[in-house]
Amino acid sequence: MLTRVRDKGQITIPSSIREALHISKDSVLSVAKVGDSIILTSKKSLFESVSGKFSKQAQKDSISLKSLLKDLKEIRKQ
């Protein structure tokens, strides 16, 4: 399969590959140079990973969005 590199270094990943690997518009990919090759791998963004952990812990500790926003407002006043 061939693809063309565009003006800003952009490439198109064929739809069959995107579908098979569940790559969508906002997916984050890791890029590595190995010898004369380029390897792209799917990778969750750091935000997704951290926000997922935070959400689980907030639920476990019964912390609501309302209480977080209230605390944030108080902190900003200081």
Domain CATH for 36? 2.10.260.10
pLDDT of residue 15: 94
Give Cα 56 to chain centroid, integer Å.
18
pTM of the model: 0.49
Q: Read off the pLDDT band of 77 (50, 70, 90).
A: confident
Number of domains in the chain: 2
* H or E segment and range at residue 77: helix 65-77
Specify whether 32 is located in the same domain as 54: no
pLDDT tens column, 29-65: 888 888 888 988 887 667 667 878 888 899 999 999 8
Which amino acid would we find at residue 6? R
Percent of the chain with pLDDT over 70: 92
Residue 58 per-residue DSSP state: H
pLDDT of residue 45: 60
Structural domain boundaries, residue 58: 46-77
